[in-house]
Amino acid sequence: MKTKAIIYISYHHKNTIKLLESSFEKEEYDFYNLAKTKEDILLDKYEKIVLASGIYFGKMDKRILQFVDKNLAKLLTKKIYIVITAGINPKHYARKTIKHFKKLSFNDVKIFSCLGHDSYGPLKLIGGINKKRPNEKDVFKLKEFILENKIWYNIGVKEVNMERNKISEMILEGEEIIYTFKPYYKKVVYRTIISLLIAIVPFILFLIFPIVFKFPEEMMTMIIISMAVMVVMVTIPLLIPLFMYKNRFYAVTNKRLIIQKGFFGIDFAFLPIESVQYVSVSVSPLDRYLKKGTGAISFGAVSTPVTSKSGATFAFGDIGNVYENYKIIKAFIDKNKEEHKKS
């Protein structure tokens, strides 16, 4: 069951919904368009709620504000986040919006604001202003906002049995999970199939040779048995990553990078964020073929160096949206290390 909801109004140029859909995973959130939703929204099941709209006549859309007034008692028990787009001076309207919500006793509300395409009134004569906003930079900043405020917990995780994620049991005092990943399942499956074909096809071709030249029956039997044993010995190691998939998770906390893995049991690997010296992205030919934005993020430290020959011993492999996630994680690590130096 989803525990996060986005309640929004977006019309005219659809600035707000474009920004939301580019930044939030639909698998993680229930989206409610107040302009179309007729039934009451059951707020009790949600822990975190994002309220979003453009700015109209200096305020958020009146339907959002009316919804807040109507459901004030329940909303005051939730974590509330606000996303607004404005034609001009979004920071000014962000301050006004925060002031309004504080008057309603929302003391810890967080807000994100950015420019949006505006063609209201006379601006229509010139085709409007901010025609290309929100843009990719705005999406990236919103994703940073999501990360910093822990709104987005399972980026890249789809149809995952989270019961196998035991990382929370390894969390130290004062440590918080910021970011959780799961490898992209189809990538793991395709790589396994390709590896099996590459390994097995030579054996099949080699088996054709004694058949064509009609080797003696006893020799054929010995060859087939030997080949079968070798095929089993080769295929089992190739299948292990597929069997281990169910236990594989990655996490970023405010102190460490964590990898959970294991076949029969569950093992963990840890890397302190302060020791990370280098972060890189690698995209394989299979990643390019799948066209799903998958790849690996590798972390280099004194104990786990990244080199052109050996690669990295500490890496988040087969994750989705790899370039975007790389930027966000690297920005988070750099910020965390900077704060650690100051303290």
* Secondary structure string (H, E, C) spanning 84-151: EEECCCHHHHHHHHHHHHHHCCCCCCEEEEEECCECCHHHHHHCCECCCCCCHHHHHHHHHHHHHCCC
| 149, pLDDT greater than 80 | no
d(CA 261, CA 245): 8
Strands 315-319 and 4-8: unpaired
Name the residue among 50, 41, 258 with its Cα closest to residue 149: 50
Joined together, the tokens standing for residue 325 give: 């996630």
Both tokens assigned to 122 = 């006379």
The average pLDDT across 330-340 equals 81
Query: pTM to 2 decimals?
Result: 0.55
Q: pLDDT tens across 150-195, in order?
A: 554 444 444 344 567 888 888 898 888 877 888 888 888 888 888 8
- % pLDDT > 90, the chain: 24
Strands 30-33 and 48-56: unpaired
From 160-169, 193-202, 210-219, the region with the lowest mean pLDDT: 160-169
Token code pair at residue 152: 């987005």
Q: What is the pLDDT of residues 78-119, one digit of tens each?
A: 889 999 998 889 999 999 999 999 999 998 888 999 998 876
Cβ 102 vs Cβ 68: under 8 Å: no
Non-local CB neighbours of 276 within 8 Å, separated by 6+ positions: 257, 299, 300, 301, 333, 337
Tokens, residue 310: 């050996």
Task: Assess whether pLDDT exceeds 70 at residue 127.
Answer: no
Distance CA 273, CA 278 (A): 11
Nearest CA to 258 among 143, 165, 131?
Answer: 165
**In this model, does residue 341 exceed pLDDT 80?**
no
Instruction: Choose the weakest-confidence range: 36-45, 124-133, 180-189, 307-316.
Output: 307-316
- The burial class, CB within 10 Å (0-12 / 13-18 / 19+), for 264 is exposed
Structure-block tokens of residue 271? 């890397």
Q: Which long-range contacts does 281-285 make (Cβ < 8 Å, 24+ apart)? A: 281/322, 281/323, 281/326, 282/311, 283/322
CB 65 within 8 A of CB 39: no
pLDDT confidence of residue 283: 93
Q: Which residues pair with 280 in a beta bridge?
A: 298
